[in-house]
Amino acid sequence: MWRVIQRVKSRLVIVPLLLAIAYLTLAERKRIASIQRRQGPNAVGIYGRRTPMADGLKLLLKETVIPRAADANLYRRAPIITFSCARRSWVVIPLGEGMVYADRHCGRIYRLAISSLGVYGIRIGGWASNSKYAFMGGLRSAAQMVSYEVSIGFSASTVLICSGTANRSQIVAKQEAIWYRVPRYPMATRFYVSTLAERNRHPFDLPEAEAELVSGYNVEYSAIGFALFFLGEYGNMILMSTRTSLLFRGGWNAIFFSSTWGLSRKVRRRLAGYVWARAAYPRYRYDQLMRLGWKVYLPVAIGWLGRTSGILIGWNGLC
């Protein structure tokens, strides 16, 4: 009975996530087409609404071609690792009051561990393909994700210090009066921009730079392998937007109502920012990306962490 309950709970997470990823791709293509004054997908279904299903079916039915010089075992495992880490990260993410798969006080530590493991999928995929373009894309992605994960960790630590807990449900509950975005606006902005870089999104998509690396670490992948990398990337986009909303924007707490719909509205706004950044900004150079992460965002995050700790210790001493 326990196993049946766990399977049902896992499907309640996976199925909505896959549907959200599918229609996020359609919304992204439609929004970018609107910005660029063109129609976008409109052939399959009414206004192109069945395009994600058609794309998924096409990738599922295509033949998986493994390069002759590739390490076949690692080549097959890399996309699975990437998608599995993106899926397992949702275990500790609350979507509403009491709506969480596992409500743990160590949720933040668990999320950091899973995100660290996600680097291995991309790195292994770049190495196992035995292609210099894929190898360089894997190196870039690993360095970029590790660099900005540090900045994200320090930015989120200011919220953990203010709330006094690592449990995300309790963090949301402590933002009923005021969102942490208001007193921590610089950290909220840096956290959101760092998620763009950590997820390899525009304007920080250096691991997938078409002009330099011919699609990067997934250049040798096709069919279901490419689809799993794709699902992992967009699943992490939704995940990071949800984390931003939970940590800095009050989660499901809204001005006029408090429910899961309030959280979904905030997540959609964060995802719209991802899409808008892809259409509006040019790509950074790699040295500019690393300089921004290590010489700007990281020192500022550490400074804000020390300032927050000092203020709270001083206030507790006065009280």
Tens-digit pLDDT profile for residues 188-238: 888 888 888 888 888 888 777 766 667 778 888 888 888 888 888 888 889
Residue 259: per-residue pLDDT: 64
Same-domain check for residues 265 and 199: yes
Number of domains in the chain: 2
Task: For residues 155 and 51, state if they share a domain.
Answer: no
Query: In the chain, which residues have pLDDT < 70?
Result: 1-11, 103-108, 210-213, 254-260, 315-319
Dist. CA 152–CA 150, nearest whole Å: 5
Token code pair at residue 141? 């992605």
Contact of 186 with 248, CB cutoff 8 Å: no
DSSP for residue 90? G
- The pLDDT score that the predictor gives to residue 7 is 65
Model pTM score: 0.87
Residues of the domain holding 10: 1-61
**What's the confidence (pLDDT) of residue 290?**
87
| Distance from the first to the final alpha carbon of the chain | 51
Phi, psi of 28 (to 5 degrees): -65, -45
Q: Last residue of some domain: 14, 40, 61?
A: 61
Range 60-83 burial, b when 16+ CB lie within 10 A, else e: eeeeeebeeebbeeebbbbbebbb
Same domain, 51 and 119: no
Whether 22 and 83 share a structural domain:
no
Q: Are residues 156 and 236 in the same domain?
A: yes
Q: Are residues 79 and 203 in the same domain?
A: yes
> What number of other Cβ atoms are within 10 A of residue 98's Cβ?
8
